Amino acid sequence: MAVGLALALARQGGPVGLLDADLYGPDVPRMLGLTRTSDAKSLTVWDKPKKGQAPSPVERYGIKVWSSPFLIGERQPLALQAPMAGLLLDRAVRDVDWGDLAWLVVDLPPGTADVQQHLASELVLGGGGSVLVLTPQDVAHLDAKKVLTMLAQAEVAVLGGVENMVAFACPGCGTAIELFPPTPPERSIWATGVRRLGAIPFTAQLAQGAAEGRPLVDADYVGHFDALTAAVIAALPPSRR
């Protein structure tokens, strides 16, 4: 979802950055065909960036990307305790040489753990906001409500939510098959007043393209994400559009 949104924003012409803040399970590089094969002998969080050259993001498909796998090998784990993870996230936002960006899309892991709390409480979002991504089933909406509470406590604006993998089109007959049992309306995040920004279906082409580092190979998905991007921009305060 973050990759699709960043690419859709880039198609509008503004400089776009994509920060993969899912430090412990970063998948964005693979989805964009970026792989570091050599293992790192050590890990530094460049604690004195002004005394050296600032780390640069990697440009791919017209967007600037930074992710923790750029620091270590593809199969190496990032074993950081919460304070160091927060420091790495600070550096990724403030010290990476992003240049002049119109948009910075930040991909977060699910839940309300240390990375999410640090980003919400310590880093200024610059007048932007958050977009909740969830699948249609009840447990996903239940977890999303906990994230809503965390964001409210941190006074982070919620632009809306989008359901991912809402259905699968049968390749033989074209019938839409629901992959998850739908959530009762009264138990959904929509019942709390969250704006529904869109719903993204599942296709095998999308999954294959992401696995091969070729995002959004299905032309239909370009339209889905362009529409989602328009809804996200419309949900922003007028001064930030």
Domain membership flag for residue 206: yes
Domain boundary among 60, 75, 109: 109
Task: Say if residue 1 is in the same domain as residue 103.
Answer: yes
Domain membership flag for residue 135: yes
Task: Say if residue 87 is in the same domain as residue 169.
Answer: no
pLDDT score of 167: 86
Cα 71 to Cα 43: distance, rounded to the nearest angstrom: 7
Question: pTM for the whole thing?
Answer: 0.87
Domain membership flag for residue 98: yes
**Cβ neighbours around 19 below 10 Å, total:** 24
Task: Say if residue 240 is in the same domain as residue 130.
Answer: yes
Task: Say if residue 94 is in the same domain as residue 205.
Answer: no
pLDDT single digits (tens) 220-237: 678 888 999 999 999 987
Domain membership flag for residue 209: yes
3-state secondary structure the chain: CHHHHHHHHHHCCCCEEEEECCCCCCCHHHHCCCCCCCCCCCCCCCCCHHHCCCCCCEEECCEEEEEHHHCCCCCCCCCCCHHHHHHHHHHHHHCCCCCCCCEEEEECCCCCCHHHHHHHHHCCCCCCCEEEEECCCHHHHHHHHHHHHHHHHCCCCEEEEEEEEEEEECCCCCCEECCCCCCCHHHCHHHHCCCEEEEEEECHHHHHHHHCCCCCCCHHHHHHHHHHHHHHHHHCCHHHC
Domain count, the chain: 2
CATH of the domain at 35: 3.40.50.300
Q: What is the sign of the dihedral through the CA atoms of 147, 149, 153 and 157? A: positive
Domain that holds residue 95: 1-109
Residues of the chain with pLDDT under 70: 44-54, 122-127, 216-220, 239-241
Q: Please tell me the number of Cα atoms within 13 Å of 206 on its side-chain side.
A: 18
pLDDT score of 192: 95
- What are the C-alpha distances in Å from 23 to residues 2, 82, 96, 109, 223? 15, 11, 15, 8, 30
pLDDT score of 160: 96
Q: Which two tokens stand for residue 42?
A: 């050590």
Task: Say if residue 227 is in the same domain as residue 146.
Answer: yes
Task: Say if residue 104 is in the same domain as residue 1.
Answer: yes
pLDDT score of 216: 66
Domain boundary among 109, 132, 148: 109
Domain membership flag for residue 137: yes
Task: Say if residue 212 is in the same domain as residue 178.
Answer: yes
Task: Say if residue 131 is in the same domain as residue 231.
Answer: yes
Q: Which neighbouring-strand residues pair with 198? A: 162
Domain membership flag for residue 78: yes
pLDDT single digits (tens) 86-124: 888 888 888 888 999 999 999 988 888 888 888 877 665
Q: Which two tokens stand for residue 230?
A: 């328009």
